[in-house]
Amino acid sequence: MKIKAGVIGATGYAGVELVRLLLKHPDVEISALSSVSFEGKQISEIYPSLREICDDTCTTSEDVVNSSDVVFAALPHGLSQDTAYQCTQQGKKFIDLGADFRLENPEDYEKWYGCEYKYPELHDKAVYGIPELFREEIKGKSIVGNPGCYPTSIALGLAPALKAGVIEPLGIVIDSKSGVTGAGRKPTQNTHFPECNEAFSAYKVANHRHTPEIEQALGKVAGGSVSVTFVPHLLPVNRGILSTMYAKLTGKLTLNEIRLIYEEAYKNEFFVRVLPEGTSVDIRNVKCSNYCDIQLYMDEHTNLLIVTSVIDNMVKGAAGQAIQNMNLLFGLRETAGIDMIPTAF
């Protein structure tokens, strides 16, 4: 019997990406979709690419919860906690693609998002879901806080070096660039076509909401405090994130020795590719896939390790990772439904 999966917020960018991927999952059937903006309309009316593939009518979030074994919520922060509570009351699994279950410290959530934890006991039961780093913690849980797209690219890029003590945990500098879909479907001034096309700009410099999430995820890997300066940029492309990270080296390891640490850390990880020396990461090479590509450099003049990583922000940075987490929750093959090959261009 197939798992019944429902999507709340199915007409947003992350939501429709979930629909696209779930439709091809061998162990899942879509039970219901919801959208406040388009309730009563077929999702194929909103996204004609789904015509005669998925013509489900968008219903209410309550219908999604009642008809599903697992509920994905692709909603703005502050809107997922009530649904999570309903799911736990009915014994359903809940995966939140928003920010409500990412931060462990309620003070951080209130400071950076302006909201409070309505059900503190639910947050005690939730787990932060980067499978490659926290796989065993995810198994058996009922609530998963699906990570943000920037933190995913950054945590995967820095985790082996931090865990091995290769770099200093304090003062890491992170320069990340994201495609416009990361801002969501609702248009804003800076995502309006004339504003972002043929343009390239930094935004929320050293003040982005993903900062505490990045430090939290890296701190769990490092086993202590980590501090970062995080500067995101908006790329005039639809998909993709490229993160470049600069960290002080703690010793005299060669770049080849550090590369071996990374290759050992990810040797059994299907979705993480440590690239051979002399090649560069490129968002084009992970497009429409759940892969993360990583490359390493050393600046001997300044004693810095430089790590670059790329992901598709809509897949590994959102819907694909959410499905990877679902596979872990239900004991399925971890790559099921998300082992697609990146497009060539």
CA distance 312 to 246: 21
The pLDDT value recorded for residue 187 is 72
| Pair 177, 242: CB distance under 8 Å | yes
Question: Do 299 and 250 reside in the same domain of the chain?
Answer: yes
* 118 and 165 co-located in one domain: no
Domain span including residue 168: 150-312
Res. 189: pLDDT tops 90: no
Active site includes 149?
Answer: yes
Q: Which tokens in the block code for residue 39?
A: 């309730």
Number of structural domains in the chain: 2
Question: For the chain, what is the largest distance between any 2 Cα atoms, rounded to a whole number of angstroms?
Answer: 62
Label residue 188 by pLDDT band (50, 70, 90).
Answer: confident
Tokens representing 103 are: 């931060």
What torsion do the CA atoms of 208, 209, 213, 219 make, to the nearest 10 degrees? Answer: 40
- Here the CATH number for the domain that contains residue 137 is 3.40.50.720
- Assigned domain for 338 exists: no
Residue 57's DSSP bridge partners are: 42
Average pLDDT over residues 25-41: 96
Identify whether residues 255 and 127 lie together within a single domain. Answer: no
**pTM given for the model:** 0.96
Domain membership flag for residue 45: yes
Helix (H) / strand (E) element for 5: namely strand 3-8
Q: Classify residue 342: in a domain, yes or no.
A: no
Tens-digit pLDDT profile for residues 282-303: 999 999 999 999 999 999 999 9
Q: Residue 336 falls within a domain, yes or no?
A: no
Catalytic position from the list 54, 58, 87, 149: 149
What is the predicted pLDDT for the residue at 130? 98
For the chain, the average pLDDT equals: 95
What's the CATH number where 231 sits?
Answer: 3.30.360.10
